[in-house]
Structure 1
Amino acid sequence: MAMSHAYDILRAGHQPLRPLFAPRSVAVVGATEKDGSVGRTLLWNLIQSPFGGTVFPVNPRRSSVLGIKAYPTVGAIAEPVDLAVIATPAATVPAVMQECAAAGVKSAIIISAGFREIGAAGLGLEEEILAIAQKARMRVIGPNCLGVMCPPTGLNATFAATMAHSGHVGFISQSGALCTSILDWSLQENVGFSAFISIGTMLDVGWGDLIYYLGDDPQTRCIVIYMESLGDARSFLSAAREVAYVKPIIVIKAGRTAAAAQAAASHTGALMGSDAVFDAALQRCGVLRVDTIADLFDMAEVLDKQARPKGSRLTILTNAGGPGVLATDALIRAGGQLAQLSTETVAVLDQLLPAAWSHGNPVDILGDATPDRYLKALQHCETDPNSDGLLVVLTPQAMTDPLAIAQDLAHYVQTRTSSTKPILASWMGGQGVKDGERLLNQAGIPTYAYADTAARIFSYMWRYSDHLQALYETPVLPRTLGTNHPDREHVTQLLTQLRQEGRTLLNEWEAKSVLAAYGIPVVETHIATTEAEAVTAADRMGYPVVLKLYSPTITHKTDVGGVALNLPDAGAVATAYRTIQTNVAQAVGAEHFAGVTVQPMIPWKGFELILGCSTDAQFGPVILFGTGGQLVEVLEDTAIALPPLNTTLARRLLQQTKIARAFAGVRGWPPVNLAILEDLLVRFSLLVVEQPWIQEIDINPLLVAPPERVVALDARIVLHRSEAVIPKPAIRPYPSQYVSPWQLRDGTPVLIRPIRPEDEPLMRQYHATLSEQSVYLRYFHLMKLSQRVAHDRLVRICFVDYDREIALVAERQTPTGSEIIAAGRLSKDHVGNTAEFSMLVSDPWQRQGLGTELMHRLIQIARDEGLSALHAYVLKDNEGMIRICRHWHFEFTPGDDPTVWFVRLCL
């Protein structure tokens, strides 16, 4: 029983953005002969750079424009129009769009300005335009944009002065002015583009749409983006995460120095700036962020030409000490590290190089280095197991032959077969090194004018590689998550009650009960509203104890003298109670004192950490972890990540902090069991995505006492106000609503649930149970087991973006654990509101009704997700799948291949 993925050609043919980039006919609305006008430039560019289609000027006052017959309206054009380029005053655009809709125009680029940037009136025009476009199913780029170029086809639907060179970089910019600057620079530097897109204010077509389109475009090898605002965060992250796995995406975003949130009430809020959140989001989807426009295109070039490094260790080979030192500084500042040459490599270089060589990395082979010395040193440095990449630096000296050295280097790189380590070059100098530099570039070796630039680029390469590795490193299932389920009902009831009471700030006891419900250890806490109650509670739990202010209004207790530690007896407790009451009354007023909480004094010696969550307006909940305590804002040793987390992502979050280095054991302290912390972070991320009414959480301090003791000593939780619009998580969490048990016909119980990244080992075992016949029916050809269970393939299956795909597995318990016996998947199409489905049941478990049940659930999920139809291709030999499709009343249409059915179910 099996189902195939739809043919790629079908997707390409139904790509609704195609008329924007490959139109067969273009109408220029607002075409004119007025010198210097946008309408004239647009028309001239379209006819000057033939794209294989027809151009129709639209101008109600002229019978022709630039010698081409003009039409009074779009509707007057007798032929179908794929693309309308609109350059008329903003107020006229809704009427023009209405004409386009009536004429069946498929897409539009609105060049005109004067919309949301001028205020409410312009925003109203945009809303009117969008309503027209959506009703007509017309895709729109703009307004207020430069337009679109597709250099490989010759399309130039912009008012830029020149046409870009053809190449393999897909460029998207939110700034039209920057587009023209980049275009001038690219012509000078001979950088070519597969697409050159000015996106404008993103009324309709946004980042996600264009990333998917360029991801499917065979001409595009790399996507570079200049961004000012994000728009739909989930759409961007979903598209970027899928495409970045196969094509590098590099972003430069304006506003990096914007001030973080002001007057933040929580430690977490004060430490979490919007730009840092954006960085965390890009890291989560495998997108690389750079700081300069030069870096943007340098990275596009190097990721296209060179393999990604497997580590951060760079070997620098140079004929001058100074550039090597500068490159080292740049490398380390950017997060890379120098490779430590192995003893064997040093010994070989000692035999090969003059006695005065540097005897370390950077490898200074001296100013009189010959081509042969360069080449042999490079060969031995590249084979060093401690090195992940190489930078070859040349400075022009009297005895140096830059061209001959470049020729040897180019030949070596083009003919090597035993290594894929990236090799970069810096031929420093003027005209004397240009020929060598040109030869290296032609050989696919990126060159840089300065060695420090090259070192920084290597660090960017490593950062990009590391981000992708983190995304697809198979996690393990947290050890307690499968046995100790969160008490979601308790938390939901508590938060509902508090909201009904009009409260947004939980007291400490309530906050800790929420954490405890999700398996996060908390210190025993009792509320005392009188001095006597405090003493009684302390007597009951035993001394020493801690007293903390209990107040519905005060956020930071230490700021008002609201904490007393290590109280040894009842007398000390009574005194501390009165002192805290007096301190609060003097600092902010007696009405803010409601009593104290009494807790045991934890005797463990450990690390004080902070674990928190704050809600970002664009990305939803964001998690913060790092060094905690009273000086948390001063130390600023924190890192942030987007939930939900798995154990791999949790470990990466830990590793981004300085305090994590101490977890390995320091100054007599034993190492921390990181699995405990990873488990806790995963549970915390589950809490913040499952309880959307929580606006902020602070656990500070979270005490970690090596090796395994973890406890939340203090907690603060704030809820959103009832009238708030709550941002959804930028990354959709695990869809637990689709988990439920079922029984096979023979009574065997199974659990049908969405797939998880942790399922990779189970999927490997599952594929081993499949017969050649089942594999053929599923994939339309035989595929070796080694291919089916390769890590690079399985991660794409198990690491599901639940916003784009829902994959179900049927899991059966065995005496030794569990096994997956079937899998079904819905993959939402990049365009439209439909999805492709696939299904495969393990051979020993076929004819047990499992395929029919999986299809039933996939259909129900498709309805729940708001899809309009399901479709797939099925081999006509696949009798089991055909029987299931007929059972659920799919429509059958012959495919282009006579051995295939195309099946479709309208929902």
Structure 2
Amino acid sequence: MSKIKPIPEREPAHDIFRRRHHPLDVFFSPRTVALIGATESEGSVGRTILRNLIGNPFGGVVFPINPKRSSVLGIKAYPSIAQVPERIDLAVIATPAQTVPGIIRECVQAGARGAIIISAGFKEAGAAGVELERQILAEARRGKMRIIGPNCLGVMSPLTGLNATFAGTMARPGNVGFISQSGALCTAILDWSLQEMVGFSAFVSIGSMLDVNWGDLIGYLGEDPRTQSIVLYMESIGDARSFISAAREVALTKPIIVIKAGRTKAAAKAAASHTGALTGSDEVLHAAFRRSGVLRVNSIADLFYMAEVLAKQPRPKGPRLTIVTNAGGPAVLATDALILTGGALAELAPETIQALNQILPPHWSHGNPIDILGDASAERYAQAVEIAAKDPNSDGLLAVLAPQAMTDPTQTAERLKGLARLDGKPLLASWMGGADVAAGVTILNRAGVPTFSYPDTAVRAFNYMWRYSYNLRSLYETPVLAAEEGIDRAAAERLIQKARKSGRTLLTEVESKQLLAAYALPTVETRIAKNEAEAVEIAAEIGYPAVLKLHSETITHKSDVGGVQLNLANAAAVRRAYRAIEKKVKGGDFLGVTVQPMIARDGYELILGSSPDPEFGPVLLFGTGGTLVEVFQDRALGLPPLTTTLARRMMEQTKIFTALKGVRGKGPIDLAALEQLLVRFSRLVVEQRWIKEIDINPLLVSEDRQIALDARVVVHGKEVREEDLPKLAIRPYPAQYVSRSALKDGTPVTIRPIRPEDEPLMVRFHQALSDQSVYLRFFQPLKLSQRVAHERLTRICFIDYDREMALVVERKDPDTETRDLLGAARLTKIEGTEEAEFSILIADPYQRQGLGTELLRRLIRIGRDEHLKKIRADILPDNTAMQRVCKKLGFKIRREVGDPLVSAELEI
């Protein structure tokens, strides 16, 4: 595999004139480094790190710290960091664990901005180690020092020359950012990378993540123009929200590829709920990777294969692969590998077959794989690939070459390199063999065509590619706005709190269905009968056949104790059923029965549920329901909140989805309505945080209806505090910032956070902007086609509310109900700081109506809510209106000599 070339830097418009230092820069380009624990002891960590620091020039100065020696390896040493004559940027600590809190205190007092703690013996050693970590973090926070580790190999920055590790050698420079929790694995991968000529922009052993975590480093490398892809070796997720937030932001522009080691126990293995028993942390983690656009692979080699492939070739739009080969056997193996791992052979279009007939011998395969026969010349090979590339049914190509007497691997590669950049389709190659194909492999790699020794490996890479593309497209496909009508949050809250105040954690079936109804989720009519006579009376009113179920505040699964009686045809049957349930369930567990109509099971039984994961908080489940739900185990997991697009993607992961589209004479169900149902269920889980577990099983769906036949809800008990409730892994829509307002002329408007569903409205908004307004906002002219491109608007509308907050001003026409956006404002946190930048843009017809002032006032309020310390913006000198608004609200306006921009800053 060849070294990946860097791509040119791309900067956002607001950052053209200024660059800012990132707090994590100190770990990769420090000017001064203190090694605390430097020693001359042969084979020691302190000696190895010092040799690495001084043996790899990084443009800075190294200060050994050793209270017992005046010099180490011939370099003047100092007894403490306080006595170093220069201010230290980065401290590398390799001393016993119990000494580290005091050392961090000294580093903070000396003004150090970062520390790498190599030492072990912290939380992995038990309670005493946990306490040491608490002390270290408390000391670091006093000086805003960032820490990598403890218990790590260290950090390499091959591009600057820094080697602050105890590894045996230095990594090659390149454009892959590598982060690992395992120091031992770091050294193994380092050895492998030197042999494979893989280079790195950063090589980080993250250790136990006391401070700097996955999200911090992903965010940092995402902004680094020299890093083209990010690969991770993960053992634990740590701060799940931080990871997902950073990954969702960066995955749009750079591939993030992860291998996750280990399989942990199911998070709710002992839970009574079906959903709780089915969710497990690794399965949830896999769902989180999909939701954040991260590609998960299963081997270390695949980590770097995929980093190369995704850097060199476009992502396929789907799973259909075309194989061109000069040997039948390898193509058959490739086909098996393709189909068995989820891909598909492209069906050749008639015009493709006709074109191939013109250039290939009569005995070619006349299908896919395209076998061009063993005597294929380089010219025939290239022509076949070029024709196959134009096939509209194909999403990607694999060229397989087995060396044969009449085939020239080198000349064939020369002819193929001109096809290295196909429009929207990846081209992979498998040049099989050793020395005979080596020159051809080099030619293809240099041209940007990834090569593989075996075709099944190439196919595996293709399948990773299309799944990665599918997941990214799912995240940023514009959803349909979910219906708001019929949702009564207050009623749902009252139901839950009534049960909690009474000391119950289990809602009755009737309460559970009332809770669903509060979120416009359709339920079967269900009424309580406290005695036999009431059961008969209610059954007559509802109509036969009827169903009786146990009414209890304590029993979880009614069918397990004989508490369900179905298909009761008359009053006598109802009486017998009531007595049977009462006989089987005695004492305080029996509070009567519920009576409901017997619904014909002419559709499909689904399950829809949620239960908490210890790392990711509430997790959603969708799949095949009924009493055999654990047997079939046909389910998909997802993280709330959902959009209609994400709901569809969850459904598509299940086997039952094929039936839902229509099968064996049955028509399709209303999938759009089911999407809306899943979105409303997701909102219930997000907004009613006191819910611990919830199941709808079965959710009966058919061509003409969707209805919950049974529901079970468990809430958190009175002993649980609100601050201890499971935290959502993805911050939900911040509804607290939605409010009504009015323009100066009295026009009513709604000011609210932006949503993914706003993309069509944002297109119309940009159509109302003048060239002058565009220039003042973006500091350069931008064509309308650029501003409304889907790829750009995904960054505008599909935001992470933890990283930025965007407000829009919405006006609804009272006659046509048409919605339009009149203005937009954005507050974007500056990575690694307690500051944020703001921007405001008002449609030309609505300027000078007070919107700019109102939006900025609200952004300031949001900044305070988000615990920011400063809000700032860069403004063009010609934009006097924006400068006046800033002055009115207390911003300091200044312009340095020679600076093309005016700066506005507000301490909050």
TM-score for both structures, normalised by structure 2: 0.96
Whichever residue aligns with residue 470 of structure 1, its letter is: S
- How far 1:876 moved relative to its partner? 2.1
> Deviation string for 1:364-395 (max 9, x for gaps)?
22222221221111111111111111111111
Paired with 1:896 and 1:265, the residues of 2 have a C-alpha distance of: 69
**SS of 1:722 mapped into structure 2:** coil
Q: Would you say 1:700 and 2:697 are equivalent positions?
A: yes
Pairwise CA distance, 1:6: 4.4
How many angstroms apart in 2 are the aligned matches of 1:463 and 1:532? 59
Conservation of the 8 A alpha-carbon contact between 2:268 and 2:613: no
Q: Does the CA-based 8 Å contact 2:551-2:592 persist in structure 1?
A: yes
1:668 aligns with 2:672: no
| Change in CA separation of 1:842 and 1:695 when aligned onto 2, cut-off 3 Å | same
Which amino acid in the other structure matches residue 535 of structure 1? V
Give the root-mean-square deviation of aligned CA atoms. 1.5
What one-letter code is carried by the residue in structure 2 that aligns with 1:905? L
Q: Tell me, yes or no, if structure 1 residue 79 matches structure 2 residue 86.
A: yes
Aligned to 1:793: 792
- Residues 847-862 of structure 1: pairs in structure 2 closer than 5 A: 847-862=848-863
Matching of residues 171-182 of structure 1 within 5 Å: 171-182=178-189
Q: Secondary structure at the match of 2:332?
A: helix
Matched with 2:649 is 652
The answer to whether the 8 Å contact 1:5/1:837 transfers is no
1:899 Cα offset (Å): 4.2
Match of residue 442 from structure 2? 438
What is the alpha-carbon distance in structure 1 between the residues aligned to residue 59 and residue 83 of structure 2? 22
Counterpart secondary structure, 1:212: helix
Which of 636, 649, 652 in structure 2 is aligned with 1:639?
636
Provide Cα deviations, 1:36-77, integer angstroms capped at 9, x if missing partner. 111111010111110111111111111111111111111111
In 1: Cα distance, 2:113 partner to 2:222 partner: 21
Judging changes above 3 Å, is the alpha-carbon distance between structure 1 residues 765 and 31 closer, same or farther for their aligned structure 2 residues? same
Task: Name which of structure 1's ranges 843-852 and 679-688 shifts more when overlaid on structure 2.
Answer: 843-852
C-alpha displacement at 1:400, in angstroms? Answer: 2.5
* C-alpha displacement of 1:180: 0.4
Conserved 8 A contact 1:5-1:836: no
Q: Which residue, 106, 114, 126 being the options, matches 1:119? A: 126
Q: Does the 8 Å CA contact 1:5/1:872 hold for their aligned counterparts?
A: no
Report the residue type matching 2:76 in the other structure.
K
* Matching residue's letter, 1:342: A
C-alpha separation in 2, matches of 1:692 and 1:5: 39
What residue in structure 1 maps to residue 729 of structure 2?
730
Q: Which runs of 5+ in 1 are unaligned?
A: none
Note if 1:59 corresponds to 2:59: no
* Deviation (angstroms), 1:277: 0.7
- Partner Cα separation in structure 1 for residue 898 and residue 536 of structure 2: 83
* 1:591 CA drift (Å): 4.0
Distance in 1, matches of 2:140 and 2:789, equals 44
- Show the counterpart of 2:432: 428
For structure 1, which segment, 63-72 or 216-225, has the greater mean C-alpha deviation from structure 2 after superposition? 63-72
User: Does the C-alpha gap of structure 1 residues 41 and 226 become closer, same or farther in structure 2, counting only changes over 3 Å?
Assistant: same
Please state if 1:620 is matched with 2:617: yes
CA contact (8 A) 1:85 1:111 kept: yes
Q: 1:719 aligns with which of 711, 715, 721?
A: 715
Matched ranges for 1:223-238 at <5 A: 223-238=230-245
2:23 partner SS: coil
Displacement of 1:682 in angstroms is 0.6
Instruction: Kindly provide the amino acid, as one letter, of the partner of residue 606 in structure 1.
Output: G
Select between 732-741 and 717-726 the one with higher mean Cα deviation. Answer: 717-726
Match of 2:477 among 451, 473, 491: 473
CA change 1:896–1:139 in 2 (3 A) is: farther
Match of 1:328 in 2: 335
CA drift of 1:92 comes to: 1.1
The 10-residue stretch of structure 1 (305-314 or 327-336) with the greater mean CA deviation from structure 2: 327-336
For residue 723 of structure 1, what is the amino acid of its counterpart?
E
* Match in the other structure for 1:864: 865
Q: Which residue of 1 aligns with 2:497?
A: 496
CA contact (8 A) 1:5 1:873 kept: no
Instruction: Tell me if 1:247 matches 2:254.
Output: yes
Q: Does 1:457 align with 2:461?
A: yes
- Match of 1:52, SS state, is coil
Structure 2: distance between partners of 1:576 and 1:859:
64
State how far apart, in whole Å, the 1-side matches of 2:669 and 2:16 are: 49
Which runs of structure 2 are paired with 1:319-718 in the superposition (5 Å)?
A: 319-413=326-420, 419-478=423-482, 480-481=483-484, 484-585=485-586, 590-603=587-600, 605-706=602-703, 708-718=704-714
1:528 Cα deviation after fit: 1.4
Q: Matches of 1:574 and 1:805 in 2, distance apart?
A: 61
Secondary structure at the counterpart of residue 184 of structure 2? helix
Shift in CA distance, 259/740, structure 1 to aligned 2, threshold 3 Å = closer
- One-letter identity of the residue aligned with 2:62: V
Deviations 1:768-820 (A, max 9, x none): 11111111111111111111111111111011111111111111112331110
What's 2:842 paired with? 841
Q: TM-score, normalised by structure 1?
A: 0.97
- Structure 1 stretch 522-531 or stretch 553-562: which is displaced more? 553-562
- Residue 452 of structure 2: SS of its match in structure 1? coil
Q: 4+ residue stretches of structure 1 with deviation over 6 A?
A: none
Q: For 1:429 and 1:631, how far apart are their aligned partners in 2?
A: 51
Equivalent position of 1:740 in the other structure:
739
Helix, strand or coil at the partner of 1:565 = strand
Q: Residues 645 and 685 of structure 1 are in contact (CA less than 8 Å); yes or no, is this contact kept in structure 2?
A: yes
How big is the shift at 1:355?
Answer: 2.5
> Which shifted more, 665-674 or 632-641?
665-674
Shift of 1:173: 0.1
Give the AA of the match of 1:37: S
Instruction: Select the residue among 77, 87, 98 that pairs with 2:105.
Output: 98
- Whole-angstrom distance in 2 between the partners of 1:178 and 1:871: 43
> 1:898, CA displacement in angstroms?
3.9
The answer to whether the 8 Å contact 1:22/1:153 transfers is yes
Q: Which moved more, 1:893-902 or 1:440-449?
A: 893-902
Code of the aligned partner of 2:185: L
Contact residue 624 and residue 656 of structure 2 kept, 8 A: yes
Alignment partners' CA distance in 1, 2:784 and 2:267: 51
Distance 1:95 1:613 in 2: 45
Which amino acid counterpart does residue 742 of structure 1 have in structure 2?
A: S
Deviation, structure 1 residue 485: 4.3
Corresponding residue SS for 1:27: strand
One-letter amino acid of the structure 2 residue matched with residue 755 of structure 1? I
1:168 corresponds to 2:175: yes
Q: Secondary structure at the match of 2:400?
A: strand
- The equivalent of 1:7 in structure 2 is 15
Q: CA 1:354 to 1:899, structure 2 compared with 1: closer, same or farther past 3 Å?
A: closer
Q: Which residue of 2 aligns with 1:300?
A: 307
Per the TM alignment, residue 726 of structure 1 is displaced from its structure 2 partner at its CA by 1.6
Matched residue type, 1:781: Q
Shift of 1:664: 2.0
Alpha-carbon separation, structure 2, partners of 1:438 and 1:898:
48
Matched letter for residue 42 of structure 2: D
Q: Is the 8 A contact 2:510 2:527 kept in 1?
A: yes
